[in-house]
Structure 1
Amino acid sequence: MTTSTDSPQVNWADIAVISVLVGLFACAVGGTPVLMGVLLRQENQTASFIGLSAAMTPLGLITAAFITPRIAQRMGAVTTALSCALLGAALLLSMAAIPDSHFWLVARFAWGMAISGFYVVNKAWLAELTPASSRGRVIGIYSTVLAAGFSMGPASLAAVNFAPFASLGILAGALVVCAVTLLAWQHRAPSFRGKERVSVLSFIPCAPVLLLASAAFGVFDHVTLGFLPAYGAGHGVSLTQMGVAVAALNVGNVLLQTPIGWLADRFPRERILIGCALLTAIGALALPYAIGSWLLMPFLFVWGALAYGVATVAVALLGDHFQGGALLAGSAALTMAGGLGGIAGPPMVGAAIDVFGWRALPVSLCAAFLLLGIAVFFAGVVRPGSSKENLNPSRS
């Protein structure tokens, strides 16, 4: 059991603000790639160019993960997060003002850096402000709001029929509201300024299994979005039905993260992480049997939530073991690992599908989460000797 009767209480007002901030940001983040894909197809761009354009965002995300902790510790977390929100809004408006697909390549790279900077600070705030006894439940609620924000982005664009100016204006407006909310709350936010500086590279060997958890979810997220509709079509399911199926996958993310977080507060979090990983692996092998049957929607509802639960519990474990500068570096490292999983996963799974056929999709996802479960069981989530007290800082 991880709870304690004398643990400090959760400040729900602060948690609500952090969740609202990430929900607004996720609305813009979830809508942008969908909008860009629609606009580039309307311009008759090649699939290769559309893929290159999509890759700019995760490349920016990974790049920023290395520098965000240092910036936040020098400028303060509020200034960093506020700058990222306003930069994101400015980039979206610039893409509306300059409808040039080649300019969008550069803008989407910078957009990825803004995304990364905001998420790194936001997740670190959440872990810093949440008592250990309630951390799983709180991060579950946070993950629910995050997933709901991702869903709201594309839905808001559909309401204006993906009109470029209106769509980019809506997404930029969400970020401006995020910035205004942050300004109103800034006096309560941890600054991380002046704390021990820990680089992302020095953090990596301290918690490689946590990074593997984030990478595994990155693989799952991007592979299912990229291949699940085609996988279903290959098994005789219509694209319309598979569109609803992908929505069911995300609804599970929205509704079941709080129960998973509650379990992570009641039982050892490493066991919950192992459980989510192994059940996701088993679910991958069950996919061929669920596809095309009445079980598909409820199956995807639960399967997606279990995979997302891996990321939820990983953030809770990060807060359990690290604080201050190490927590900020760890948040950046998790963001980077998720981005790497999102970049590397789809090409690797796609190559496996080309060689072995569609059966490679469930087998690949099973292998990723089975590896994670085995790693947690045998190695734990943090390297022995690495903790919030003795992680060597860099004061440069």
Structure 2
Amino acid sequence: MRWATYFAVLASVLSVGLALGVSMPLVSLRLEGWGYGSFAIGVMAAMPAFGVLLGAKVASRMASWLGTAHLMRLCLWAGAVSIGLLAILPSYPVWLVLRLMIGVILTIVFILGESWINQLVVEQWRGRLVALYGCTYALSQLSGPLLLGALGTDHDYGFWVGAGLLLVAPLLLLGRSGAPTAESFSVTFGDLWRFCRSLPAIAWAVALFAAFEAMILTLLPVYCLQQGFTAEIALAMVSTVVVGDALLQLPIGALADYLPRRTLFLSCAVLLLASSLAIPLLLHTPLIWPMWVVFGASAGGLFTLSLILIGERYRDDALVRANAHVAQLWGIGCLIGPLVAGAGSQWISGHALPLLMAAGALGLVVLLLRQGAFGVAQPA
């Protein structure tokens, strides 16, 4: 196994998580300060979802033309430019376009990076090494809001730090090998529908986690502010959710190498349902802090286990295709989650965010109790 390449790809994806973690909450807090409501902020949060769908459509074709490693480097540099422009052009309509660009560019990075990692790892270590990827990515997102809290939200330092990280990250991929080969194809929604029918539980879980992550980085700070907390406490709560996501991914991945992965999947779905329902009840008590941890861990566990199960089945071009479908589902979740939660928060209930996650987790639990939730096993 190419350990140096594994850690280089890991570090490049980690830089993306840190760049997003330090810049995306600043976008929402800046819009809140400009007087925009929850729905307008939700629209901004959902904008990258359109970019995700476009990025998923073109990722494999561009990788076949340029090569996986070279394309990843180009996309990281383009992401740096896009985040830097957020600081230079402080305008709601312009930011909508930039968020769309960021969605396209970084989706290609995630598709190729996750495919590269799943291609490299050996089967007996798959659970732990894929979980290490999920853990480090979550830690990078955790560090983002913490770093933003230290830098302050009154200036544009968060944008410039994010841009700087993405400028340096491509250098880590120079000379690396072992990337999956990709054919020139364009995934369609018909292909996505067939993927969802073959692996319905994984498809639902990926879309649910995408909605979770989009809302945590963009709407959760606003949710906490509206519930009476200061900006510093709101960012700390966001970080606590990501702590749960990060710290428990490695234990979940280790268990996935020894225990039935479907049982772990169901356990995470049940915990996500329970914690989502508990948040409105415990929000103003000390118990909310451990509940944030459980909330993040259970949601992150679903995504980590989804990647592990996909890595069991596919290699090379089929693996890139599967991760392109994961990106499509990610775009759908990022689009629907913030829009519904933002509209619900403004016009229905202030607790729409956790209640929406509870509804999604309940749907997943019901799906998991049915036959064929994971299709027919086809080990690679």
Determine whether 1:199 maps to 2:187. Answer: yes
Report the secondary structure of 1:378's partner residue: coil
Structure 1 contact 270–380 (Cα < 8 Å) conserved: no
RMSD over aligned CA atoms reads 3.1
Q: What is the rounded CA distance, in whole Å, between the counterparts of 1:179 and 1:219 in structure 2? A: 28
> In 1, distance between residues paired with 2:291 and 2:205?
22
Partner in structure 2 of residue 283 of structure 1:
275
Structure-1 separation of matches of 2:233 and 2:157: 29
Per-residue CA distance 1:360-381 (angstroms, 9 max, x = gap): 6554322211221332342445
1:198-277 pair list within 5 angstroms? 199-201=187-189, 202-206=191-195, 207-224=199-216, 241-277=233-269
Q: How many residues align?
A: 375
Match of 1:60 among 42, 51, 66: 51
Q: Contact 2:205–2:303 at 8 Å: present in 1 too? A: yes
Does 2:17 align with 1:26?
Answer: yes
Residue 300 (structure 1) aligned with residue 295 (structure 2) = no
- Residue aligning to 1:83: 74
Indicate yes or no: 2:352 matched with 1:371: no
Distance 1:236 1:154 in 2: 19
CA distance in 1: counterparts of 2:29 and 2:127, whole angstroms:
37
Contact 1:39 1:164 in 2 (8 A): no
1:340 aligns with 2:329: no
2: CA distance, partners of 1:371 / 1:232: 26
Matches of 1:370 and 1:77, distance apart in 2: 38
- Structure 1 residue 84, shift from structure 2 partner: 0.6
- Deviation per residue, 1:120-166 (Å, 9 max, x gap): 10011111111222211111111111011112334444444457664
Verify the 8 A CA contact 1:250 1:304 in the aligned structure 2: yes
Change (3 A) 1:379 1:37: same
TM-score, scaled relative to structure 2 = 0.86
1:276 and 1:138 map into 2 onto residues whose CA distance is 19
Distance 1:177 1:237 in 2: 36
Cα distance between partner residues in 1 of 2:232 and 2:187: 46
Task: For 2:229 and 2:80, locate their aligned partners in 1 and report how far apart those are by CA, in whole Å.
Answer: 39
Structure 1's unaligned 5+ residue stretches are: 1-9, 390-396
| CA distance 1:232–1:99, change in 2 (3 Å) | closer
Deviation at 1:101, TM superposition (A): 4.6
CA displacement 1:165-189 (0-9 Å, x = unmatched): 64433222211211111114x2x23
Q: Deviation string for 1:337-396 (max 9, x for gaps)?
A: 123212212333455566764566554322211221332342445444x8578xxxxxxx
Tell me the SS of whatever aligns to 1:266. coil
Q: 1:317 aligns with which of 309, 318, 335?
A: 309
Identity of aligned residues (%): 27
Alpha carbons of 1:86 and 1:213: their partners in 2 closer, same or farther (altered >3 Å)? same
**Pairing 1:190–2:179 present:** yes
Provide the rounded CA distance (Å) in 2 between the counterparts of 1:152 and 1:254. Answer: 11
Letter in 2 for 1:210: I
User: TM-score, normalization: structure 1?
Assistant: 0.83
Structure 2: which amino acid aligns with 1:366?
A: A
Q: 1:27-42 maps to which residues of 2 (within 5 A)?
A: 27-40=18-31
